[in-house]
Structures are given as structure tokens and as C-alpha cells.
Amino acid sequence: MLFKTRAGLSVVTGSFEVYAHQFETSGTCWLYAHLRSRTEGESNSFFKKVRFGGSWIKLVGFKIHAGLDAEIGSAMHIVAEALKNSASICDLSQLGSAEIWDKKLKLVRW
């Protein structure tokens, strides 16, 4: 599936899951596609076991605010509908907060 985001187009193939992850320190929340088709496992470091695996692709970024749950729900609904309808593209380009994307990226004005 092709995801249309504020930063461009991302191709996600194979098995993937979509998660929302909140970052309290930066006051942001991101919707990610987690590619499950990549190698996964655990490794031991000096201090703890470290889990690795799969690639994470940013789809939508939000500022944390009172209506965040509804915005995430709306974005997840769009993804679910695109998957259900076997759409070739899932348009998330107008969702979330444009200003929290990495300043090094040139955001696309769709």
C-alpha cells in the first residue's frame, strides 16, 4: 500500500501493523506503520536485553492536546477503510500537525 503523508509517499509492502506512540517529552504522538516482515529478535547488551526488528515508518504526527484520541481514531479509521477496500493509496496528508515533522524535510503541499 502507498501512504500519502505530509512528507511524501511511503510504500509499505508485506505484513505490517499500525500503532500510535506518544512521546511525552516532546509533546507529540506519531502514527507508525510497523513492518513485520523484517527480521526480529533479541540481543543481550551489558545492561539488559534489547529487542530489535521491523522497520517503523512515520505516517502522521500530532501535537498532544485534548482532542488527540479522536484525531488518532479518525486516522486509524482511514487506514482501516483503505485496507478493507484494497485501496492502492491511503491519503493521510492533511491529518495531524505539519509543524512537528523534522525541519530537515521539505513538506509537500498536496
pLDDT above 70 covers a percentage of the chain that reads: 85
Among 105, 17, 92, residue whose Cα is nearest residue 62: 92
> How many whole angstroms separate alpha carbon 22 and alpha carbon 37?
24
The maximal CA–CA distance of the chain, rounded, in angstroms, is: 47
| Domain residue ranges of the chain, discontinuous segments joined by + | 2-100
What pTM was computed for the model?
Answer: 0.81
Q: Are 36 and 54 in contact (CB under 8 A)?
A: yes
CA 68/CA 22 separation, integer angstroms: 10
Cβ atoms of 12 and 48 within 8 Å: the answer is no
Taking the C-alpha atoms of residue 104 and residue 80, their distance in angstroms, rounded to an integer, is 30
What pLDDT is recorded for position 109?
A: 84
Q: What are 9's three cell numbers?
A: 509517499
The string of pLDDT tens digits covering residues 73-85 is: 999 999 999 999 9
Q: What is the DSSP letter of 110?
A: -
pLDDT of residue 13: 86
